Amino acid sequence: MLHRGTRFVHAAVLAFAAVLAFLFVRGLDETGVLGNAALVEVIDSDGSKNGYQVVQAIETFSTERQPR
């Protein structure tokens, strides 16, 4: 049976590793979209188009330029 201090250190290291892994993956997710090969950012919108219209324009653009 392990000493109480040793068990506490093991639990603290495990908790620290879990938090560090979470922060690392969250940082990766904020720098880009995980699981996708491409990312489209819409910036500087003047509000003249709604979200649906933007999605339609991007889908049309993508469909026209897909390799066959």
Evaluate if residue 29 carries a pLDDT over 90. no
Measure the CA–CA gap between 1 and 43, rounded to whole angstroms: 59
Q: Domains of the chain: which residue ranges?
A: 4-64
Q: State yes or no: pLDDT of 12 exceeds 90.
A: yes
Task: Give the predicted TM-score (pTM) of the model.
Answer: 0.46
The radius of gyration of the chain's CA atoms, rounded to the nearest angstrom, is: 23
Percent of the chain with pLDDT over 70: 90
Region of poorest pLDDT, from 6-10, 13-17, 35-39, 42-46: 35-39
Task: Please tell me the predicted confidence (pLDDT) of residue 17.
Answer: 98
Q: Structure tokens of 3?
A: 């000493």
**Can you give the pLDDT at residue 35?**
67
